[in-house]
């Protein structure tokens, strides 16, 4: 394992210099829950995003994609409780109104505001609640409100998801902070549910977008809960340059260090999302080793982590390794099935693609743990990848059977 070049720090999405946040209780779906958040940079920031590949895109996704075309932004407004998806032209007008009101309160252009929503699809936005909530949240932004913002974007999440690191770039101390939400409808093919990242590093928009895509492919694109890719998925990053480092414009050592730290922040959030999967009792970590290419490793790892049969077996504490190799086999990864070794924790359960005598008792003890690690060695090369998922429990059905109520 390579030595990290950063330190974990508190503060989440407002840990970086020049960023603040505000929240409000707008009673969009629940009267006693924070459900509106605003993130604000004191100066315009370079900005980039990655978005859902679902053909059905929510209005805030479309508005944010358009506003990011300039490569800059200064604020983000988010609501939970309503996805503003499949609401036609009215949905677009509502998303634009969210940006406009945020901009008015903060004194910035509406085009500098990114918009995100999460919640039930196909319900009209209660703008009579949302707009006053935005005014309240934007009117009280402060650096210490990062943790409250992480609470405000939660839906079926059971805990807020935050991460922040500090590192040195160009002789300056730089911070990357983030928050995310996600518990169900998690099978992203871009980034993930909702993730907001801030940094006081100076990074050119092109390099920022490239670094975010790299990080997402190695974190959020390797997390799965239930195989559903949402209409609202997005991850956006704002870099305001307040740290004072020289602007990163090319793939030099500062860029690589920034990219790797960003990837670790995203991976930390991805693990939290998998651990907090709807109804989950266990975090599943799938590590693929010995792949011919990184693409093969990622494909195999994500297929195993996303297999309903594997997830159900982990919930039932059944060391059914046949489901694991089956999932790898349909993943699209290129490997020789007769070379595959499989481990549950440190207990080997298959060798050369076939059965071996292993301790069922030891496997059961491993499967009883809160975190279950599955390792596949494809023995076909020297590339690897790790994906994260969760078990499939009875409670997942209960939660999603009455999600709208």
Q: Which residues are catalytic?
A: 192
CA atoms within 13 A on the CB side of 36: 28
DSSP H or E run through 115: strand 113-118
Of 142, 172, 163, 143, the residue nearest 242 (C-alpha): 172
Specify the pairing of strand 6-8 against strand 283-291.
unpaired
Give residues with Cβ within 8 angstroms of 95, minimum separation 6: 59, 60, 62, 63, 84, 115, 117
- DSSP per residue over 188-209, as a string? -SSS-SEEEEEE-S-B-HHHHH
Residue 62 falls in which region: left (phi positive, over 0), alpha (psi -120 to 50) or beta: alpha
DSSP H or E run through 49: strand 36-51
What tokens appear for 141 in the block? 């932004």
Q: Do residues 48 and 70 touch, judged by C-beta distance below 8 A?
A: no
Tell me how crowded residue 90 is: count the other CB atoms within 10 A of its CB: 13
What tokens appear for 167 in the block? 């590192």
DSSP 337: G
């Amino acid at each position: 394992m390579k030595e990290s070049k950063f330190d974990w720090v508190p503060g989440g999405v407002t840990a970086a210099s020049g960023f603040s946040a505000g929240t409000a209780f707008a009673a969009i779906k629940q009267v006693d829950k924070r459900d509106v958040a605003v993130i604000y940079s004191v100066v315009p920031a370079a900005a980039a995003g990655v978005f859902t590949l679902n053909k059905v895109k929510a209005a805030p996704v479309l508005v944010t994609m358009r506003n990011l075309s300039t490569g800059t932004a200064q604020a983000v407004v988010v609501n939970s409780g309503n996805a503003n998806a499949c609401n036609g032209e009215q949905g677009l007008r509502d998303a634009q109104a969210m940006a406009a009101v945020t901009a008015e309160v903060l004194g910035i252009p509406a085009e500098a505001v990114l918009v995100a929503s999460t919640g039930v699809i196909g319900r009209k936005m209660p703008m009579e609640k949302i707009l006053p909530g935005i005014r309240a949240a934007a009117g009280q932004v402060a650096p210490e409100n990062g943790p409250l913002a992480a609470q405000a974007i939660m839906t079926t999440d059971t805990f807020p998801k935050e991460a922040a690191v500090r590192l040195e770039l160009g002789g300056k101390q730089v911070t990357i902070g983030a928050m995310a939400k996600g518990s169900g409808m998690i099978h992203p093919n871009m980034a993930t549910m909702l993730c907001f990242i801030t940094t006081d590093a100076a990074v050119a928009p092109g390099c920022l977008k490239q670094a975010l895509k790299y990080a997402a492919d190695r974190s959020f694109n390797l997390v799965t809960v239930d195989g559903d890719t949402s209409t609202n998925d997005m991850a956006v990053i704002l870099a305001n340059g307040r740290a004072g480092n020289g602007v990163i414009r090319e793939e030099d050592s500062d860029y690589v260090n920034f990219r790797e730290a960003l990837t670790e922040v995203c991976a930390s959030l991805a693990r939290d999302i998998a651990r907090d999967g709807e109804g989950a009792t266990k975090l599943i970590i799938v590590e693929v080793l010995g792949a011919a290419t990184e693409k093969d490793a990622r494909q195999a790892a994500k297929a195993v982590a996303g297999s309903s049969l594997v997830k159900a077996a982990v919930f039932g504490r059944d060391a059914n390794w046949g489901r694991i190799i089956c999932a790898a086999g349909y993943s699209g990864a290129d490997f020789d099935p007769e070379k595959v070794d499989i481990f549950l924790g440190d207990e080997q359960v298959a060798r050369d693609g076939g059965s071996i005598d292993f301790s069922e008792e030891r496997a059961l003890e491993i499967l009883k743990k809160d975190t279950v690690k599955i390792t596949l060695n494809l023995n076909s090369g020297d590339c690897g990848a790790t994906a994260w998922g969760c078990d499939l429990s009875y409670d997942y059905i209960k939660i999603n059977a009455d999600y709208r109520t």
